[in-house]
Each structure stands twice: as structure tokens, then as C-alpha cells.
């Protein structure tokens, strides 16, 4: 495991597995949903080797890693024992903005890489035609167009999958709803025939009706490349599936739940959700276009100036679906492009820092960050170079706003969601008219942003003496740390919270416990169905199913008591909580009761791991079988 040490450190500093509600990743960041962000050691995490920085925003705890984040993410999921990067702990409520950003990022993050890749193919195809290398009637063009356009054309199917996972619907049901929206036979129903009648005649939403469903008029629209209809349909589909599952006998759930969910949601989507969502999308596109048309130059300056700030806090996720919707509705997007000179402005500032700095550590970070920025990923540069030095960051904002101004003047628009950085050039070629003023405006804008940012940083916006002073101070730190760390070892002991036969943790069937991934400790085969408080402290976590409880002693020891193996599947049956989450406890207090015999008859083992989840905070944690206790050496 190439990133094992980094993964171990991150897991510890975010508060352990029990503090993780969910985990995804984007191009450069691990995006955690934490139960309690105050439990994360942010300052220590920022100083961890391999971590660029930590950003808290958009309802997420974001650990910036760099371009190799997919490998770190996979190792983290494997090491921490996360299933698909998520746990089953109930999530606390967020504010409306945080909730919106979390939903949007959760739906779109998994598909952005493929969306960019296929967009690049489509953009290159347009470029080849514009240069006269191939004809748009050739077989070469047709095959490349199929490779490039397939993802965007069938976008509702892919979003059906990711939205279903986000909302808790079975993913294949989400895909089925999405597939129905782009089902080819439905599009043919409107070809060469007169409508039965017209709804809302004379209004902005005038709609011809060609078919009905059980006598109810169906407004057929083009849902290929659409975003909003499938997201809303999947949201309601998840609610419907939960309701049907709840009332359906378990023996019938495997086929009747998806049967009823699809049977109800597909007609409902075509009759109600699809038309309304499409109208909303059209209005949203028209509104954005109206703002841009009002004064594209002012829009360019504003978007260019704030784009890096939006990225810092993850708020750009709110703009990405609008841009995708605009391309689907209008055929182009004029807004998000205005901030796309930011990566080049950042690259210019970083290059200036590399040239002026005499600090080898700055150059070691700056050179790969500079290359990354040229390819459109500016976050390593942002968090590693420009933002810590403040003035180069300001230089990038000024330069990006000038780049946005230039694109506003030239009327630059993006026609596909394709590559980033230097690979983004084909995005701005009009597929109908070829290379035009908008494309040239983009080229001029990114060159000006790069050069201006470089010049500003080289002249007024960076003093290399700051880095030399920082390097000098860093050399003095080890001696101070060494003195600070000279402490006498202490021991903490506590008796086990469950009575019964004590067994080594290594004999537990679940590898997450037996291999110590959740912490060191011991296990018990219960002789009675009771869990007692092993020390004075608080109830930090009480799982909704009452099968596990997390405790914290007054001196900071964090303990997880997990009754049985896979008993979460009992959904609370045979368990009773005697305390609530957040309660203060005294040694010997009764915390949980359970029925070992019923649990075993239901087919579940009752062996109960007791682990110290913050094991890494101590020199050693020992599960003493003979003494029936856990000893911690601090």
C-alpha cells in the first residue's frame, strides 16, 4: 500500500471511522461528511506529509491531497473498512446551502471524469472538422461522435445511478427511470403526426399533446442530455421505494418493490415531474442568459474574480449543473467559462514564485503544482503556494478577472463539458460554425491571465524573504519539540463492560476488528445480555439500532462496544438502550441490554469486540485476557 502511512494518519485525525458519515473524492480532494467536525484535528492534519491543506465548507470536511487522490481514496476505503466509502450512521442536519452543495457534489462528482473525457473526444471531432481533416459525413466522424456524445446523450441514465446512490434508491432502479426518459420509441411518437390538442396555448409553456396515459395527457419532451428531471424523479423514487419496502412483506420485496417503484415513477415522471422540471430548466437557462446578456463584460470580471474563492469553499458545485443544463437547453454555456482562466493565472503566479524563491521545499511543491495548473487543476497551487503567501493569491484573482473580462468582450461560450486547462481549447469551438471570435477570445484571455499574474507576482506580489525566514524557523522546531515530548509514561486501566468468556480480538471473524483496523482491544463471548459503563465519561455515539455504543472516558479514552457480528442487520431487534447519546455516565451504569439467545437463534454470532478507537493516541493498548481488562500505556 503506497499511501498506508498517509491513510492511517488521515483516519486518525478525522476522528476515526466512527466519525465518518460518508466519503467521496473529486479531482484533488477527499470529501468527508463527518458526524462531528470538532473531533477532527485540522491543524495537525494540515501539517501531515502528503496533505496539501484542509478546507471546511459546503457541508463537507475536505482533505486536499493532489492529483493522486483516487489511489489514496481507494486505500483509505480498504484500510478503514468503509463499504463504498460510506457508513450507516445517521447524518446530522445541515443548513440549506450545505445540503444543496452536498447533494450536487455527491451526484456529479462520480461522473465528471468521464464527462470530461467524452467531451474531449467530441471537442476533438469538432476541431478535426473545423481544420478540414475529416468530413462531418464520414464514418470516422460518426464513430468519434458516438464515442464523444454517447455519455451526454444518455446522461439521464448515468445520473439516475449516481442520484439513486445519493438519495438511497437502488441504483439500477434509478438507471431504469433514466433509461425510460431517453427510450427511442417515445421520440418517434411525435414524428409526422398532428398533436391531439395543445395545453397552455399562448403561454411560455405551450405544449402539444401527442399521446395520453390512461386518458391523462402526456407532454413528450426531449430528455437526452437533461439534468433536472432525472435528479428530481430519483429523489421521489427513493421516497416511494422506502414506503413500499416498509409495507411490503419481506418475502415479496425482492421483485415487488422495484416493480411498483418503476411502474409508478416512470408514468409520474413523464406526466408531471419531467415537464415541470424541464420548464424550470428552460427558465433557469433563460435567466442566466439574461444576466449575461445584460452586460457580459461586468459578468466576466465578476465571475473571473470570484471563481477561485468559489472553488476554495466548494461552492462551484452549484454552478456546474447550471452549466450542464445550459448546454443541454441552449446548446452552449456562457457563464462558467468566464472563470476558466483562473488555472492559467494560478500557473503564472506559481511560476514566478518558483523562479524567485530560494527555498527548495517551495520549489519541490511548486513545480508539480505548476504543471497541474496548466492541466486545469489549480488546487495544489492554491493551497500549497498562492494562498499561504496571500499576495500571489490576490495576483491570481486580479488576473483571472481580466481574463473573464476579455472572454466577456469576445462573447466566449463553451459548447461541451470537455477537458480542462490546455485540453479545454476544443470546448470553445462552435460545432455549427467552427472556430470563431469566442475561441480566439478564450486563447487571448488565458495567455493574458498567465502573463499578467506572472508579472504581478514577480514584481509586487511576492517577497521570497518570507519563505527564507520560514525555512530558518523550521530548522529550530525539532529541538523545541524534543524538549516538549520528554514525559513520563502513564498507564490507564479499565475493566470490561461485558461479562463472559474473554477472547483475543484476533479470533474475531470480522477482519476490521481482528486486524485492529478499528483499534486495539479485546473481545467477550457474553454470559449475560448487559453492557455496563467501564469508566466515568460520556456516551459519544449510540447507533440507531442499539447494537453498538461509543464511549469516551473523562481522560480521553474512546471505546467502541459492538455487540455481536453483523447485528446491525437486526435493525434494533433484541436490543434496548438504557441511555441516550450525549448522556454522562458513571462506572457500572447499565448502558444496553440485549437477548443473546434470540440473537443466536436469528443466525448471528454474539461475540462482542471492545476496542479503543483512538489507539494511535497512545504508545500501546493491551487487551489482557487473564485479567479481563484493557491496559493503555500513555
Q: Active-site residue numbers?
A: 26, 562
CA distance linking residue 74 with residue 477, whole number of Å = 34
363, 455, 555 from 452: Cα distances, Å: 21, 5, 55
- What letter does residue 314 receive in the DSSP assignment? T
Helix (H), strand (E) at residue 320: helix 320-330
CA distance linking residue 323 with residue 335, whole number of Å = 7
Looking up cell 493503555 gives 632
Helix (H), strand (E) at residue 477: helix 465-484
354, 393, 396, 454 from 459: Cα distances, Å: 14, 14, 14, 9
Q: Is 153 exposed, middle or buried (CB count within 10 Å of its CB: 0-12, 13-18, 19+)?
A: middle
Given its phi and psi angles, is residue 50 left (phi above 0), alpha (psi -120 to 50 degrees) or beta?
left
SS (H, E, C) 85-120: CECCCCCCCCCHHHHHHHHHHHHHHHHHHHHHHHHH
> What residues pair up with 414 in beta bridges, in sequence order?
333
3-state secondary structure of 183: coil
Q: Is 568 exposed, middle or buried (CB count within 10 Å of its CB: 0-12, 13-18, 19+)?
A: middle
> What residues pair up with 494 in beta bridges, in sequence order?
630
CA distance linking residue 347 with residue 341, whole number of Å = 10
3-state secondary structure of 153: helix
Which residues, in sequence order, are CB contacts of 289 under 8 Å at separation 6+?
326, 330, 334
CA 275 to chain centre: 29
CA distance linking residue 74 with residue 379, whole number of Å = 20
CA distance linking residue 588 with residue 578, whole number of Å = 13
347, 504, 535, 592 from 630: Cα distances, Å: 53, 11, 12, 20
Amino acid at each position: 500500500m503506497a499511501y498506508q502511512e498517509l491513510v492511517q494518519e488521515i483516519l486518525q485525525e478525522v476522528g476515526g471511522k466512527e466519525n465518518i458519515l460518508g466519503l467521496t473524492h473529486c479531482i484533488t480532494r477527499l470529501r468527508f461528511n463527518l458526524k462531528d467536525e470538532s473531533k477532527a484535528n485540522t491543524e495537525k492534519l494540515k501539517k501531515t506529509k502528503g496533505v496539501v491543506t484542509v478546507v471546511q465548507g459546503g457541508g463537507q470536511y475536505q482533505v486536499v491531497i493532489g492529483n493522486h487522490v483516487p489511489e489514496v481514496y481507494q486505500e483509505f476505503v480498504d484500510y478503514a473498512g468503509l463499504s463504498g466509502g460510506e457508513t450507516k450512521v445517521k447524518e446530522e442536519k445541515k443548513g440549506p446551502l450545505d445540503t444543496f452543495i452536498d447533494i450536487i457534489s455527491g451526484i456529479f462528482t462520480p461522473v465528471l471524469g468521464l464527462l470530461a473525457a467524452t467531451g474531449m473526444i467530441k471537442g476533438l471531432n469538432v476541431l478535426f472538422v473545423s481544420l478540414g481533416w475529416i468530413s462531418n459525413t464520414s464514418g470516422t466522424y460518426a464513430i468519434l461522435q458516438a464515442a464523444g456524445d454517447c455519455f451526454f446523450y444518455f446522461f439521464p441514465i448515468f445520473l439516475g445511478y449516481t442520484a439513486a446512490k445519493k438519495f438511497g434508491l437502488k441504483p439500477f432502479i434509478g438507471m431504469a427511470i433514466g433509461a425510460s426518459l431517453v427510450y427511442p420509441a417515445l421520440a418517434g411518437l411525435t414524428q409526422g403526426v398532428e398533436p391531439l390538442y395543445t395545453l397552455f396555448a399562448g403561454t411560455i409553456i405551450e405544449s402539444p399533446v401527442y399521446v395520453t396515459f390512461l386518458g391523462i395527457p402526456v407532454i413528450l419532451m426531449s430528455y437526452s442530455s437533461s439534468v433536472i428531471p432525472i435528479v428530481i424523479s430519483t429523489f421521489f423514487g427513493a421516497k416511494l421505494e422506502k414506503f413500499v419496502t416498509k409495507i411490503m412483506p419481506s418475502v415479496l420485496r425482492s421483485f415487488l418493490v422495484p416493480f411498483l417503484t418503476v411502474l409508478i415513477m416512470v408514468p409520474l415522471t413523464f406526466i408531471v415531474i419531467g415537464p415541470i422540471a424541464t420548464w424550470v430548466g428552460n427558465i433557469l437557462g433563460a435567466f442566466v442568459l439574461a444576466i449575461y446578456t445584460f452586460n457580459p463584460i461586468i459578468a466576466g470580471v465578476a465571475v473571473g474574480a470570484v471563481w477561485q474563492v468559489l472553488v476554495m469553499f466548494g461552492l462551484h458545485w452549484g454552478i456546474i449543473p447550471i452549466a450542464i443544463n445550459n448546454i443541454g437547453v441552449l446548446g452552449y454555456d456562457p457563464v462558467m467559462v468566464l472563470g476558466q482562466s483562473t488555472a492559467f493565472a494560478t500557473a503564472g503566479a506559481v511560476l514566478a514564485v518558483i523562479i524567485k524563491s530560494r527555498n527548495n521545499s517551495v520549489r519541490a511543491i511548486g513545480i508539480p503544482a505548476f504543471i497541474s495548473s496548466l492541466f486545469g487543476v489549480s488546487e495544489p497551487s492554491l493551497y500549497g503556494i498562492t494562498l499561504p503567501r496571500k499576495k500571489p493569491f490576490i495576483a491570481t484573482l486580479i488576473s483571472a478577472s481580466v481574463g473573464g473580462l476579455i472572454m466577456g468582450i469576445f462573447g466566449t461560450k463553451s459548447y461541451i463539458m470537455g477537458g480542462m486547462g490546455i485540453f479545454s481549447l476544443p470546448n470553445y469551438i462552435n460545432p455549427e460554425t467552427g472556430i470563431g471570435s469566442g475561441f480566439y477570445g478564450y486563447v487571448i484571455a488565458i495567455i493574458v491571465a498567465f502573463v499578467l499574474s506572472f508579472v504581478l507576482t514577480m514584481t509586487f506580489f511576492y517577497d521570497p524573504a518570507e519563505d527564507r525566514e520560514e525555512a530558518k524557523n523550521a530548522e529550530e522546531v525539532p529541538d523545541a519539540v524534543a524538549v516538549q515530548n520528554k514525559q513520563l509514561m502513564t498507564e490507564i486501566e479499565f475493566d470490561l463492560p461485558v461479562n463472559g468468556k474473554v477472547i483475543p480480538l484476533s479470533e474475531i471473524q470480522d477482519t476490521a476488528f481482528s486486524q485492529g483496523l478499528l483499534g486495539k482491544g479485546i473481545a467477550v463471548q457474553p454470559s449475560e445480555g448487559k453492557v455496563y459503563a467501564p469508566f466515568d465519561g460520556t456516551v459519544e455515539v449510540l447507533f440507531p439500532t442499539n447494537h453498538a455504543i461509543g464511549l469516551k472516558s473523562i481522560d480521553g479514552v474512546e471505546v467502541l462496544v459492538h455487540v455481536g457480528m453483523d447485528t446491525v442487520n437486526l435493525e434494533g431487534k433484541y436490543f434496548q438502550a438504557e441511555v441516550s447519546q450525549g448522556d454522562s455516565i458513571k462506572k457500572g451504569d447499565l448502558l444496553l441490554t440485549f437477548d443473546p439467545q434470540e440473537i443466536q437463534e436469528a443466525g448471528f454470532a454474539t461475540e462482542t469486540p471492545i476496542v479503543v478507537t483512538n489507539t494511535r493516541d497512545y504508545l500501546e493498548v493491551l487487551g489482557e485476557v487473564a485479567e479481563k481488562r484493557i491496559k493503555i500505556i500513555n
